[in-house]
Structure 1
Amino acid sequence: MTSRTPIPPEPAVALREILAFDDSGTLRLLLAPGGQDVGVRAVAVGDEGPAQPLDGCLVLVVGVPAASAGAAGPVREAARRGACGVVLRDAEGTAAAPEVLAAAKESGIALLTRAEWADWTDTAALLRSALACARAGRGEEGAAVPDGGAESLAALAAAIAEYTGGSITIEDTRFRVLAHSATGPEADGLRRSTILGGRVPDWRVAELRRSGMLRALWTSRDVIHRAADADGPERLVVAVRSGPEVLGSIWAAADGRGLSPRAVDALRRGAEAAAPHLVRHRLRESGAARRSELALRGLLYGEGDARTHAWSLGLSPDAACAVVVAERDFGAPAGDRTLDVLALQAVSYRPSVRVLRDGDRLLVLLPVDTGQEHDVLGLARELATLALSLPTGVPVRAGAGPVAATALRTRSSCEEAALIVRVLRERADRGGETGGDGEARRGGETDRHGRADRARYADAAGVGPSLDVVRVLDAVRPVWEAGSGPVHDLVRADLAAGGELVRSLAAYLEASGDVARAAARLVVHPNTLRYRLRRARERFGVDLDDPDTRLLITLAVRLTG
């Protein structure tokens, strides 16, 4: 029998190195009884199980804040299980509880807090990236890029350039250049304009989007090859990821010579080495990003001062804007990232686009120049079509709100876009088949299973009077819910019994009183439907010959689904 060689533990990294990596202000050290040279081997979440050993771990205690005396217990428990430190949630302006400080001091465990504007996902990514970056910087054997790549993104870009034989740019998800290698005399015009402008030109991003290159980049984990053409030399590109999260990309362009045979492997390893740096870049912007998110939410939902929100987003309050709402169908599988991919696509549409993720919805704020009003529906179409083409195939419906004359009126565009999505969803539930800008009526797109795309995007013109119907239904709902009478009695009693009579009345009214057509839709004999209608009159006193009664039943059926 051969004994299995134990896997050695990861080398420890001094706490001071982790704190030095955090230039975004995410972490604050409150207490370090053992000094800042205490070794950290891993990051753990405090509720991962009582049997989980925590030797050398920095533990994220997600349940209780530092200001709560109840956090003293988790601090002592983490120390008992071998942890070197704990991170608690901070509350701005609130000091840590004395009991918590005493527990850390007595246990000899480092005590840190997480900034209020950060979240636990950000904090875990920061700590793990700090560990990876510190270990990479020690020159471990087998690295595909020189040790200098761990020092800065610029050094990493230079190292990747040496191994690939090409010119390198490292970009974030908004195609801003974070670092680049030296530019040779034979560099193409696109690379020069990208570096000089600090970002990929808009026309180039639009071309990549139209060609499907961006879709492939955001969804693939492999290196993508783009052959040389009349517009530029051969290029390789790979997405930089932290787990499932896309952080940016690395591009290698041939500069007057072919790329190295080992270029693909160098790019893969370069993406791994770049991830900690791009995490730090993202966290450095987190504070501003959180404030921007609050301003965007306030502008879209009409909360707070709209003028201040607009300036915070870099928008003139007088700028014309529109909102596109993309909503994922309910019941999407756990871990589905459709909306994340759509968000990346949206921000590539135009640099001024702002995106807010709100549960199963994506809200996109689009500044609109005169003559570009059609771009709003175009973006809705693009998002709905992209969702259809993704491997998950999770349906998304997109509504294009009207152009608001100023950013201060953005809320109205957002509300209408959300109503349009609601109309599209209700039509789909009822088996409707119109929508979009006419394309869906002519057959539209199809999803990966070959099913016709039914009204997955639209503007107000695309949904017609249904938009006003939804507004009317919302307005009359309180009146209906507070009312009483024969129609109310019928609906409430029948829905409690399964809703057969309500469905029959709905089919009869939608068929404009044509019994044969309504019966066919219900898949029953016409005499069966006549019996049900007669029962409504005899049992509940509901007279379908009365126009007011028919109107009330129509509203009741729509309001109760």
Structure 2
Amino acid sequence: MEASTLGALLDVVGGPALRLCTAPAGTAAPVTEALLYDAHTPLPRTPGALLLAVGVRAATAGPLVRAAAEAGMTGVVVRGTDGPVDEAERHGVALLAVDEEASWHHVHLTLATAIGARSAHSGGLGDLFALADAIAAATGGATAVEDPHQRILAYSTVPGQPVDEDRRQGILGLQVPVSVENAEQVRLVFGSAGPVRLPALTERELPRLAVAVRAGGEPLGAIWVVDGGTLAADAAQSLAQGAATAALLLLRARVTQGLTLDRNTDLVRRLLTGSGSASDSAEASTAAHRLGWDAVRVAAFALGSGASVPDAERTLLRLQDVVRLQCEARYGRHACVSLDGVVYALLPAPGEHAEAREPQQRLTADRRHRQLAEDIVGRVGRSLRVPVRAALGETVADLGEVPASRADADLVLRLLDDALPVASIDDVRPRVTLLRLADVLRERRELRVGAWQRVLAADTAYGTDYARTLVSWFDAGCDVASAAKTLSVHPNTCRYRLKQAGRQLGIDLADPDERLVLWLQLRAGAGLGLRGAGQVRPRSGPQPGPPTRRQLKVSGDPG
């Protein structure tokens, strides 16, 4: 799809908020994205970008203008009126200015939104912009194409046509402002067979000429034309003809977007599972090119295990929609899929070379990933009224290692609860290590056998409390007083239990190796003290039997 141009951008957001100082290459110069200048990071080569001169005074922006020209950028945006116009013209770079009071964050959001409206809509929607321009030229009014949910898909950029604040806000947010009056007009448009003339909603707004876009009776969207008093006599007829063309374009876009979505979904699924050739270097390279990323981490989202969800399948689909939309809003790529009741998303991260050059980049990415996860958990929890958990795996520098990051995220998910709904692998690495050890204990017979089984067998058969006492003592650094406080018993009771466990079960608590192995087996194998891990029981088969009743006749607590 064609990129946005400097002229088209100015048509949308130009005016008091954004002023053009000079454009040596003309207003047809492409604009691909808006970048915030960072004095601590080398300027990337980004053809077509607009560079926002954050932290640079307009009068001293000459060197930045030269650097932008060397990086192939289209222009530089400064704050104030005394920018280096001569320098910009000498190097063929456009110079734009915003007010002194303007917030760089707001300026960046506004420009990125306006640019993205034309350049980010891949998948067949590009021709809608050309159609919007054609309808605007034929009818004489600024035109916008919307979907049934009043999301703006395309808009015209014919210069000189009257617009109002409702159109400006709609284009900047790619969503028509919500109001009761506007909703009533929408119902009227979709309930009519042809174009409808609509009055202005307020004194500051302009009237509209609108028509529904349909295919076989199915509503695909609507086209709205601003009536600034300059509409052509046959505007309604031209709009009806445009609606027929729009229907074909929207149907084609739906098919194209569906194919793109299917390809991305299949790619992400194969990366996550390591199936086929997705983990091969060639396939990983292709995936990196398609997604535009190198290093990534896996984020996993799941419904709370204890939640009562009447329609879990439908709720999971809605969770996937939220994850996809939030990831697209931040990273501009669709990279999420639902597998086995979990929604997985691939999040871009700084690669190894970027981290070596600027260590703070990884910390910044980690904060962004955590913020994204927390936003999704909060948003879904409020809208669907169900608890959601989010886990972040390890960052991997090769897409072929995505299954390892997914395995990390899956383990973290097992540890999450109401008190800890969001966590990364680094947050809970010790507990994850115990979980991994528990999985190994289940699989390896030689690691399952040992004194810990005798401890559990005694507690089960005779009601003793050896396992909990031992774990509390180990956790307290073998301090009896601290362990007794944890157990809410007298220190003598704790000391007596330890003595009896050692004597009756054949455990040498003076041996540091035996203490370490027993502690790990009770924590990992029995799940004692490991929140969220559950209890791992030994598999069936020959096991040491419990102590005899004679052996345990004095094993209870004294008095």
Indicate the TM-score class for this superposition, using the shorter chain for normalisation: 0.3 to 0.5
Query: What TM-score do the two structures reach when normalised by structure 2?
Result: 0.46
Query: What TM-score do the two structures reach when normalised by structure 1?
Result: 0.46
Q: Which has the larger radius of gyration?
A: 2
